[in-house]
Chains A and B, each alone.
Chain A
Amino acid sequence: MTETDKDIETLNRLFGEARADYQALRHHAVPPPLTVVPQAKPRPVHRVLAIAAGVAALGVTGLVLLSLNQPDTPPGHRLIAAPQAMPDAPSGRPQFTGSPRPTLSFSRMTFDFTLPQRPDGSSG
């Protein structure tokens, strides 16, 4: 006897009578009318249009989200302004060759340590 046979036997012992009652269970004595209402299926063209509209809506949403999350300029170019952005700025490198070289003069500073005289004429 297999495990399944034992299970069936157990169920039969528990619900054997109820099984016969279940099998005697019937639908309504007077059958309710079978109401067959033809349902209008969506036409293929409408289905294709609906799918296309859905895909388009998803695409637009994705583009909007992408543009909102994107920085204005690429990070590598942010610190260097394009020449077009500064039309008044001189173009090219500054020329220093013709200008005189600036010279710095250092003179030793002197300090005067003479103390002012007191009213009684003494100092220190």
Chain B
Amino acid sequence: MNAAPPSDADWGLMARAAQDQLALSQLYDRHRHYVFRLAWGILGEDAAADDVVQEVFLRLHDGRLKAQPRAKFTTWLYGVVINVAREQARKRRRFWGAAQADEVLSTHADEQADPARLDRLRDLGRALATLPIRQREVVLLRFLEGFDTAETAEILGCRQGTVKAHLHRATRKLQTEFQSPPALTHKETTQ
């Protein structure tokens, strides 16, 4: 399951976010990490992901978004993040590259973090970079975020069959290109 905090209180905060700065700040504190990492997975740049975080919470504030309180809050919020990230991607007209993968982690990762962990994240970033954006979104939501197929389809606004097809194609592609363990692959490429 997705790790975002499940809470009905989020809809209450959301209803007040347009007028109440405190409610908006609470939503921001609860969800900014999840918004950031999903945008990071799609765009591959820390600066672009930061922009998405700002834009998403700005939209929550200005009341432009049509909330659907019947849905799970995170499902709805992730749909917003996907749309904003796509817009951002269209503006920048570029996605992942190996250079960005290094740059991202050099700025946002803890300097004292395990180097093997950073290597694994960089390899994951490079793997995502090889996928078309729809397949990347499905892998991010279905595998990395842990949403089930129905929730992934709801977030992306498509049918469950489409989600399964994208996931299968993405898996075959990644299996072909990254058959060996990711950390080993990275060490080989850096030598």
Residues of A within 8 A of B (CB): 3-4, 7-8, 10-12, 14-15, 17-19, 21-23, 25-28, 31-32, 34-36, 38-39
A19 to B37, CA, bound (A): 12
Contacts of A11 in B (CB 8 A): 139, 143, 171, 174
Please encode chain B, from 175 to 189, with 1 for each CB lying within 8 Å of some chain A CB and 0 for all others: 100110010000000
- Interchain CB contact under 8 A, B33 and A26: yes
Contacts of A32 in B (CB 8 A): 50
Contacts of B142 in A (CB 8 A): 8
Binds A, one of B8-16, B53-61, B71-79, B80-88: B53-61
A8 to B149, CA, bound (A): 11
Contacts of A35 in B (CB 8 A): 54
Q: Report the 10 A-B pairs with minimum CB-CB distance, sorted nearest first.
A: A18-B124, A27-B36, A7-B171, A18-B120, A25-B37, A11-B143, A27-B32, A27-B33, A21-B121, A21-B117
- Interchain CB contact under 8 A, B120 and A17: yes
**Minimum CB distance partner of B34 in chain A:** A27
- Interchain CB contact under 8 A, B175 and A36: no
A36 to B182, CA, bound (A): 40
Please encode chain B, from 6 to 30, with 1 for each CB lying within 8 Å of some chain A CB and 0 for all others: 0000000000000001001100110
Chain B residues touching A, range = 35 or more
Determine if B108 is an interface residue (Cβ-Cβ < 8 Å).
yes
Interface of A is mostly: helix
Distance of A55 from chain B, by nearest CB (Å): 26
A38 to B61, CA, bound (A): 9
A12 to B139, CA, bound (A): 11
26 contacts between A and B (CB under 8 A): A3-B164, A11-B139, A11-B143, A12-B143, A14-B174, A14-B182, A15-B143, A18-B182, A19-B144, A22-B41, A22-B124, A22-B144, A23-B3, A23-B37, A25-B121, A26-B108, A27-B32, A31-B29, A34-B24, A34-B25, A34-B28, A34-B58, A36-B21, A36-B57, A36-B58, A38-B62
Contacts of A31 in B (CB 8 A): 28-29, 32
**Minimum CB distance partner of A10 in chain B:** B171
**Minimum CB distance partner of A27 in chain B:** B36
- Interchain CB contact under 8 A, A22 and B108: no
Distance of B16 from chain A, by nearest CB (Å): 14
